[in-house]
Amino acid sequence: MHDGCSANFASGMDVLNKIRTMGFNLQPMPAPVTLQCENCGNSFCMDTFEGQCGECGMVYAVTPCHAGDPSAIRPAGINV
């Protein structure tokens, strides 16, 4: 599922499962990121390694290794 800090995950759900298993999901990111939701287009601030669009419920995740790269933030599904 994961190869160190290389971010080789098959899906956003893999990223989410990894950070939840490791207990990182609710920890603060080094710097908050404003995202535009890929599902509904709403902008929201992601300030923990797991974030959720307040408009449609799409959940996003990023590993701590890649929190500095907004392109590494992956959608995992709605209300997962």
| SS3 state of residue 26 | coil
Report the chain's C-alpha Rg in angstroms. Answer: 11
- Domain definitions of the chain by residue range: 12-78
Walking along the chain (80 residues) 10 residues at a time, the average pLDDT comes out as: 62 95 95 97 97 98 93 96
Q: Provide the pLDDT for residue 10.
A: 87
Q: Provide the pLDDT for residue 2.
A: 46
The set of residues, in sequence order, having a beta carbon less than 8 Å from that of 33 and lying 6+ positions away, is 45, 46, 47, 70, 73
